[in-house]
Amino acid sequence: MPGDQSIARQQYYGHPRNLFWRLIATYIGDHILTEPYADREEILHAYGIGLWDVMHRAERIGSLDSNIRHGELNDLTGLFARYPTIQHIGFNGQLSANIFQKRILLGLIEAGGFTKTMTTLPSSSPANAGVSHQAKVTAWFSFLQRSLA
């Protein structure tokens, strides 16, 4: 779920201290950081990257994932049916990976197999201060390089 600042700006990863766009720039290039938000989404798509929340909506006071309550799942089964060429899924943090694995994955497997690779990446959130910037860069760059090759 997007945080308060992302919701206010109507932009994925809109908090100025969120590292998501800078982590993406390590692979795509720094030019993405100077592009308007709408163009950033187009650039991601041109590289074969899509953004999708595991949760469609939820209640949350503040921006911390630990405050999420009454979450409603996004239709990821439908997403994968519409875009069968998706092969790699990167979760931006442990919570989204856990929700996917506990509430969505079994249904996908039962519906006909699930052959996509899944990687839990260190969260790009400023709240994830326990992981160094360099560790985040290394993990994200490796995932992007492996997934987009």
End-to-end Cα separation, the chain, in angstroms: 28
Helical segments of 1-132, H only: 4-9, 20-28, 37-46, 76-82, 94-103, 105-110
Task: List the domains of the chain with CATH numbers.
Answer: 4-148 (3.40.470.10)
Mean per-residue pLDDT for 44-65?
80
Residue 19 φ then ψ, to 5°: -85, 0
Q: Which residues are catalytic?
A: 18
pLDDT tens-digit profile of 107-120?
888 877 788 999 99
* 123 secondary structure, DSSP code: P
Task: Tell me which H or E stretch contains 56.
Answer: strand 55-59
Confidence of residue 5 (pLDDT cuts 50, 70, 90): low
Instruction: Quote the CA–CA distance of 46 and 124 in Å, as a whole number.
Output: 22
Instruction: State pLDDT tens for residues 90-109.
Output: 999 998 899 899 888 888 88
Query: What is the model's pTM?
Result: 0.86
